Structure 1
């Protein structure tokens, strides 16, 4: 069949809440199409919801970085030619396949059960209340990202991992540097090394003086090596504050720009669970990847994906696919049945902390708009700085105002 070929992956968003219009147009032409990677490889772009789920759920595709072709032009010429030198370090389960991935993830699954996460609701609610009280001290004007959206998940994940919140400067700046699309390969690796060093120090401290936290519990099992434990904790630390923080910031911006849906949230408290799912579907803040590489020839809907072909899945486009979400998936509708979205991924690499993220968002959005019923933007919408320069989308800041 004649296949659509894209020379590069469009990343410019014409609307702050929508995927790039060029990607939406590609999906409407072909939910599986060809894409040229930065290293010249002719791989694949998948934009359909069903197709993304099929790929993410298939054991015929690898998530190991040494198998992937290069998508990011920043790193062209910087990555080692020797594939063995591109392998994920021990403990980096997000970038590993079974059986390594299975062994490592199993060590953490008991920490993130739905029951255990629900038991944390009251404690998380208190963290949110304390941060809202802090927000009140700003006399009617504040940056919601700095004073609420970032601190809430950071406080939660730091406490769960046993990291002192006063130590956040040792990882937040470097995390931002790693996620910036403007950071060079050298600078990104230096930032990563600094966070690794911090986590190695933390694991050593926990071995010496265990506490009531996830890292101490992980070490106590005797299963992971020190290197595995520190890298597993590093992944949890980064994922535990960056993603939820950006959903809280961008989600608030979205609701303020959709007053009809904000009214639904305020008038119908029972809608909050579905509202979080719909916001996840609608915004889909992971806008680059995930990437997988075929381990063998695979045919999907008439397309032969050959062994060694790399595939980029476009989650924001998949979550707007009308074949999965009928009606008008381009519109935000907090009453829409939004389950089945792929914002948390799918398959064996589905987000381990998704239940924690859901609880933080449910409590965060509900309490924020209850405490500040007249919350509003303090700048024009087009002045809100968007994270178009970051691997995780959102807003850099969100100036808001309220009646003091």
Structure 2
């Protein structure tokens, strides 16, 4: 979309350079991400940037409404309700598909998540691209007046809230088996935050502890939560000493309730040029005849789980908990990224940080996902080139 940089990048690209890029990425931890890393960043024009910022602002304005918690309280009634919820989420991941409407390119909100994304990994991915393509120094993945130094400062403040790193843990289910574990490694490297499995947490009274590398029990004062409750519910083999619904003496970096409040649950409440028509199945007066133009999504799934792209009447009629699913109008992704061969679809995830004490969240960085197929997620494009996870660079 930015001809100058696209032509420059493509002219300098080679398979050898891509392999050197991947080797450099794998060098830090002797590990290459299990998800596919795309060959190219996405160059974002001034016009598209302004559209993304406008759509993001409209969503944040909705989240900041005085009645937002009342509007989303039902999301907690059908899920976990964790005590000591704070006033706002610490993290926002806002996904926009780059689409075409009436012959014009426009970002459309696919979903929003009040949950952390790969904040540490993206900063390092940017630096790996710079090593291979020095001219990218002219561009930036950061927004809101942020540079690399202030990005790390903002992320540190959000994660630690002034607490010593040894008393803050990144909590996950079997972290070594997660697709995003490279982000955990970078988080530990950048800030010294230990990575702990839910089964390793020790509960004494209403306090939590973990065992450090020296075999010492250390008090947990703050949890950087990366646990998805869907996965936790499905792992009946796990034995935990604590429950998330316990009244614990601990702070949350990313309180779990915000995962439910800011999710597909809010999509039916949104309207405007950047939002897609979405209807709760429980509010659906009749099933549309043109179902080929719709997609069926569970409200609280993660990473595309449970989504039915080619939906039929039986799929809708078979849903028992109709207040937990939405029927969403399909949008037409426009293949706007020119690869060496053919064009590629793009989704831009804006990453927002909202530390305690800040009146508003800061649009800090982004994730880009590239696709040549129907589905955007990196796991749906494993056998193709110029697809997978990447980063957007703003002019």
Query: What TM-score, normalized to structure 2?
Result: 0.24
**Which structure: greater strand fraction?**
2
**Which structure: greater helix fraction?**
1
